[in-house]
Structure 1
Amino acid sequence: MQKILPIKCPKCNNKDSFYRYGKDRDGYQKYLCRKCNHQFAPDRPTSKKVPKYPRCPVCGKATFLHHDYKYYSNYRCCDKKCNHSMFVPKPNNILPASMSKLVGKTDFKRMRYPVHIIFTALSMFYLGKNSFRNIAQILRVVNNVKVSHTTISNWCKKFAPYFNNIALELVPMLDFNSDE
């Protein structure tokens, strides 16, 4: 047995002149007040938490959630002229860095090129800040080895955790107070 509660308009507190006005998207009955033309659904629960979106840093207007990814959210400005897009990271989804979980290749077995060529290319990229195409050209001129810039890029992706692990071991041994 359903309880019938007295229905009144939340805007003008009218109790007698309103009529049914369809259902909302969740299936709750809506009503339309004849005095103020306000639409309302009295049975709808109001405890729904409204998400707080950041303001647009360019124009200061409201934003909407354009896409929700695993580690960040993409927000867009509501102003059609601005249409600024921003990415906000989700700090609770980003895991802390751990050197015990080393991801990537750590051995140089079954590589097409000699180890000293790979080390030279990686050190030129990480220490010299050269581009992949420059490194390929230097290796071709100096060592007479034809290596594609894409191959050097793949080496950097594969061996980046290995070099990061070595750097973390070597940095504490550096003495920055010394002139050497």
Structure 2
Amino acid sequence: MQKKCILSAQEITRTLERLAYEIIERHGDCEKLALVGIQRRGVDVAARLREVLSARLGKKVPLGSLDINLYRDDWTSLDSQPMINKTEFPFSVDEAEIVLVDDVLFTGRTIRSALEAILDYGRPRRVELLVLVDRGHRELPIHADYVGKMVNTGRDEHVNVLVTERDGEDAVVLLQN
């Protein structure tokens, strides 16, 4: 299997800076804004994005985490049981302007599950999607409002986002057969 680096650690940092500015451009003072990271690496990306936004805005942006495992449409056909992670909303979902954060957008099924899960906690004013990498191949009519990098991939290829918090390094790699 061949590995190709798509984003280096430095490029990830620059990409998150750019995405933060795009959010500020769209949301102004970000008064009702909250970030929600999808477990697992989406939470890590969201935490880093929060740091950038909070520094630029001079105030802490609320951050939540969301586990979508019980909302997946394939959980009954998985070979193994899903590992359940923490869902936490330290803010009211009702009327919030949520930016849902994930590492890679592929078929759209994870995002569909996330939207369903969020609605179990309240009714946000708006939900936008931010992804570090969009690799195409959608099965559902879902698109990201903020994209770090678009990567054309084959269906048999994989995009792995590595984060220091979990993997000991920052990188986005494309694995090709």
Identify the TM-score tier after normalising by the shorter chain: under 0.3
Name the one with the larger helix percent: 2
Name the one with the larger strand percent: 2
TM-score (norm 1): 0.26
TM-score (norm 2): 0.27
Say which structure, 1 or 2, has more relative contact order (CA 8 Å, 6+ apart): 2
